[in-house]
Amino acid sequence: MKPATLESERPSARDRILLTAHDLFYRHGIRATGIDLVIAESGVAKLTFYRHFPSKNALVLAVLEHRHRHWMSWFTDALTRHRPRTRPPLEALVPALAEWFHDGNFRGCAFLNTMTELGGSLPGVMAACRLHKQDMTAAIAGLLPASRQRKRQALAIAIAVDGAIVHTQFERDAKASLKALDDLLRPYLG
pLDDT of 40-55, one tens digit each? 999 999 999 999 999 9
Alpha carbons 22 and 71: distance in angstroms, whole number: 12
Alpha carbons 62 and 53: distance in angstroms, whole number: 9
pLDDT of 6 reads 52
Give the residues of the chain that fall short of pLDDT 50: none
pLDDT of 11 reads 86
pLDDT of 128 reads 96
pLDDT of 5 reads 52
Element (H, E) at 20: helix 13-28
- Alpha carbon of 179 to those of 1, 96, 142, 186: distances in Å? 20, 13, 22, 11
pLDDT of 7 reads 53
pLDDT of 44 reads 96
pTM of the model: 0.91
pLDDT of 119 reads 85
Alpha carbons 68 and 81: distance in angstroms, whole number: 20
Residue 163: HSE in the Cβ half-sphere, 13 Å Cα cutoff: 14
pLDDT of 24 reads 98
Structural domains in the chain, CATH included, are 11-53 (1.10.10.60), 64-189 (1.10.357)
User: Would you say the C-alpha torsion 177, 182, 183, 184 has a positive or negative sign?
Assistant: positive
